[in-house]
Amino acid sequence: MTEGSETGHIIRFALPLLGGNLLQQTYNIIDTLVVGRYLGDNALAAVGATGSITYLFYTLCIGLSIGAGVIVSQLFGSGDNKKLRLAVVNSAIVTAVFGLAVSIISVFAAKPVLRFLNVPDELIQTSAVYMKIACGGTVAVAAYNWINAMMRAVGDSKTPLVFLGAASILNAALDLLFVVVLNLGVSGAAWATVLAQGLSAVSCIIYCFGKGREICISAEDIKADRDLILRCIKTGLPIAVQNGLISVSMTALQRVTNGFGETVMAAYTVSMRIEQLIQQPFSSLNAAVSTFTGQNIGAGKSDRAVSGLRSALKISTAFAFTVLILFMLFGRQLTSCFVTGSDVIYIASRAIVITGCFYWALGSIHTVRGFLNGAGDTGYALVNGTAEVICRIGISLILTSVSTIGYWGIWLTTCFTWFITAAVSIIRYKSGRWKHKCIL
């Protein structure tokens, strides 16, 4: 990525990532469709109540993988292949240990956390069953995101897509088998997701290292390196904490949502599933800009990295306004794909239009964040995460307490949070501090 068209590189690299992210989101979407259609609105509300806390456990591991990818991309750009291989091995050690720890903790913490989230008593048992299985499989999520980050760092965004596509088909089949045929309820939907994700991770790891492509690991590379382990933790931990803080803010917002009853909970679940789907192009641009920036910073081409960021901002803004128009025209039809209750559809279809007005800010957050991470300025992630926590908790409590706003304050909180966080990100970029954060 250190030569040729900046926009061309970013688009070509982001498209397979987008395909992979969309396929990964089908896990959640298929769960929502199957649970909502075959088990009813109450079961959907129970699954939705676990969304923010499940994301918390998943995203802690994902943050470490992103940090490791930053190191590997800069080493790849500099041409230091020996140290690159050592970084891959030692990042795997960090990811495995952390993933196992999070999996174990999440299982034991399920019910206490759900009670803290104010999940209604009639839903808490079902929610706990789903959460224990889904969060217990965090190690599989960590493994997949680690190998994905390694392949992205060296410019390969296509290989993981193939395996994820196969896993998505398997997930759909297992969902129907476990929920519809075997009547396993929400636990069947959770098991389908975990098994499909685990298979994707294992098969992709075996193929990538078996083929010995850009990352050819030999026996002498398989050793613990204290410096690289600490560097992986130092680079990835701020991103993991940032993601954790964002998830904490989402958890707080979920708790506020739960206080409005099952109808609003179900509508929020539907709107979040749609939002997660729409976020994938932004997330793909984030990863593409991060890799592009990392390789060019490693090669000493910071001006080229800045040009890539500008191109990505233009792409994200155009996409944001396209989505808003589609939501305004077809919002009701889209939300009715997930649920049948008229009240839920009414709330959800209007909610996605409200948040859609601020997708341009969400796109700015992702692209600038990807640039700063790729440049090695991962410490800023803590500032970014803190801003989201303060906004989501503070603004949600204020808006939802106003009688004329009520539950609409849930979605308005998201809008204000994106706007403020985008402003903070741009200010950080303009300060130029990232110029002195190169890891190498």
Give the model confidence (pLDDT) of 31-40 as tens digits: 777 877 777 7
Are 237 and 95 within 8 A, CB to CB? Answer: no
pLDDT digits (tens, 9 = 90+) for 48-59: 777 767 777 777
382 pLDDT tier (thresholds 50, 70, 90): confident
Residue 125 has pLDDT above 60, yes or no: yes
Q: Which two tokens stand for residue 349?
A: 């279809």
Residue 440 has pLDDT above 70, yes or no: no
Q: What's the CA gap between 305 and 257, in Å, rounded? A: 41
pLDDT digits (tens, 9 = 90+) for 384-412: 778 888 888 888 888 888 888 888 988 89
Q: What is the mean pLDDT of residues 265-281?
A: 84
**Residue-averaged pLDDT of the chain:** 82
Helix (H) or strand (E) holding 421: helix 408-431
HSE-CB at 71 with a 13 A cutoff on CA atoms is: 28
The pTM assigned to this predicted structure is 0.71
Range ranked top by mean pLDDT from 120-124, 206-210, 362-366, 371-375: 362-366
Are 181 and 98 within 8 A, CB to CB? Answer: no
pLDDT value of residue 437: 67
Q: What is the mean pLDDT of residues 54-67?
A: 78
Q: What's the CA gap between 93 and 71, in Å, rounded? A: 15
pLDDT digits (tens, 9 = 90+) for 347-364: 888 888 999 999 999 999
